[in-house]
């Protein structure tokens, strides 16, 4: 736009935050809740730094021509569901 405002979105899957991990532990683990990280192609939960790296790219000059799009950072979860 004339104001050089770019709009992007980051679509995340499960992220290993303190809140997520504490909640899983309090419930007796992912298995006790019937959860599995197998549906995502990488088969693990993301580290917060992995999400931050993607966001860092989107706000950098390297992504100056990226706008109106969504970046999936979900370990392949959405691709597996489609």
pLDDT in tens, the chain (82 residues): 688 899 999 999 888 888 888 887 887 776 766 666 665 567 788 999 999 999 999 999 999 999 999 999 988 877 766 6
Identify the pLDDT of residue 9. 97
Report d(CA 41, CA 80) in Å as an integer. 7
Report d(CA 79, CA 72) in Å as an integer. 9
Identify the pLDDT of residue 2. 81
Encoded tokens for 80: 């597996």
Location of structure tokens 């736009």: 1
Identify the pLDDT of residue 33. 67
Rg (CA), the chain: 16
């Amino acid at each position: 736009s004339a104001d050089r405002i770019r709009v992007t979105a980051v679509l995340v899957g499960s992220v290993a935050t303190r809140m997520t991990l504490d909640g899983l532990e309090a419930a007796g683990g992912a298995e006790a809740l019937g959860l599995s990280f197998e549906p995502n192609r990488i088969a693990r939960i993301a580290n917060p730094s992995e999400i931050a790296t993607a966001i860092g790219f989107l706000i950098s000059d390297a992504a100056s021509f990226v706008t109106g799009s969504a970046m999936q950072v979900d370990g392949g979860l959405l691709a597996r569901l489609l």
